Structure 1
């Protein structure tokens, strides 16, 4: 096959690419460029060029530049939830489950730095309210995931207590991850250890509640 024929064949394959595959390609390229340049500086022309498609095709798929960012956020959200959900399979105690989930979270933020950068408030804030709503949806999904995790081991704990614990864990993980990804000498396991040292005593109080002050009843 000649060089010209080979080029035509590549173009033809691109044209025949299924829509779902094309969307994944666009999201992957956009994620890379958004992470490299920031949302405002990222060019739809460059995204289209790297994908080998026209700019109108990207608008046809995602509606707008913000719509493309939201698609990137949703992809990262799905990957994060899957990573954490898979990590806790087989855990037999609350402490082990929480440690596994924390380690999976930090492994994701380190191994998917481009995707993680899109889940931070900075880029969404300049993109618009829809992107901010998507970021908050990511956090809320993490909260619900933690509530489900806690309730599996603490079935008698009031819903309000589980919600408070989940909110604290999600906030702590997000903030600690910002520090963690900047450290070259800290592993995901160590970051999870730091988190557990600070938080587990509070969660353990729900697992093994102590006597309330003034409670003189015998406990066997």
Structure 2
């Protein structure tokens, strides 16, 4: 296996482009090794920077982790909005409402399709979510808040579909997470999109 050599004499990049480069390199490394296996030197090498140069952009290793997670959430929100044909999902999600023509089932299907096209990012979140169960993990609070937010949004969107919208929200989240783990472990024998469609037939029956 050839080990890539990263040069530090690259042309200077605009700040926004450099930050994106750092976010993407870090996401890839965490997906491969987990947060505890990540070194700032590896990120710096992959981006053609020194460690002090990297710290100038991100501040600290913990700060870099949170920045990567927020960056990926923003990217996913933009992609999901494009799939659903809407301009912005921030406001509709916050209020428990979706634009005309977009319902909870369609939104979930779009989420699954998005994830099926980016296994490395899904692996990144799966690894970090498991690691962050430890209260000492720097992303512990982030993932706890993210889970509660997702459940609240799903429940708000399910209020007209079920007499127990919170229960349906938990079932949806559990099914998505479980199917994704099975898919990541055996992608050759698991079709994530089809598995979700089969599950949705049961979860959304008579709804």
Under TM normalisation by the shorter chain, which class is it?
0.7 to 0.9
Q: Which residue of 1 aligns with 2:88?
A: none
1:21 aligns with 2:25: no
Task: Indicate which of 133, 146, 162 corresponds to 1:138.
Answer: 146
Query: What TM-score, normalized by structure 2, do the two folds share?
Result: 0.72
Distance 1:91 1:188 in 2: 27
More helix by share: 1
CA gap of 1:115–1:93, structure 2 versus 1, over 3 A, is: closer
Query: What TM-score, normalized by structure 1, do the two folds share?
Result: 0.69
Q: Which residue of 1 aligns with 2:40?
A: 44
Q: Which residue of 2 aligns with 1:124?
A: 132
1:60 aligns with 2:68: no
The 8 Å contact of residues 39 and 127 in structure 1, kept in 2 or not, is answered as no
The 8 Å contact of residues 180 and 192 in structure 2, kept in 1 or not, is answered as no
1:79 aligns with 2:75: yes
* Counterpart secondary structure, 1:130: coil
The 8 Å contact of residues 77 and 138 in structure 1, kept in 2 or not, is answered as no
* Counterpart secondary structure, 1:184: coil
Count residues in correspondence.
185
The 8 Å contact of residues 124 and 132 in structure 1, kept in 2 or not, is answered as yes
Q: Which runs of 4+ in 1 moved over 6 A?
A: none
Residues 153-202 of structure 1 show CA distances to partners (whole Å, capped at 9, x for unaligned) of x29x77xx33332232112211121112323244343122222133113x
The 8 Å contact of residues 88 and 101 in structure 1, kept in 2 or not, is answered as yes
Structure 1 alignment gaps of length 5 or more: 1-6, 208-220
Distance 1:198 1:128 in 2: 38
Q: Which residue of 2 aligns with 1:166?
A: 169
Distance 1:167 1:49 in 2: 41
Taking only aligned residues, the RMSD between alpha carbons, in angstroms, comes to 3.1
Larger Rg: 1
The 8 Å contact of residues 19 and 57 in structure 2, kept in 1 or not, is answered as yes
CA displacement at 1:85 relative to structure 2: 4.2
Q: Which residue of 2 aligns with 1:175?
A: 178
Distance 1:130 1:143 in 2: 22
The 8 Å contact of residues 22 and 47 in structure 2, kept in 1 or not, is answered as yes
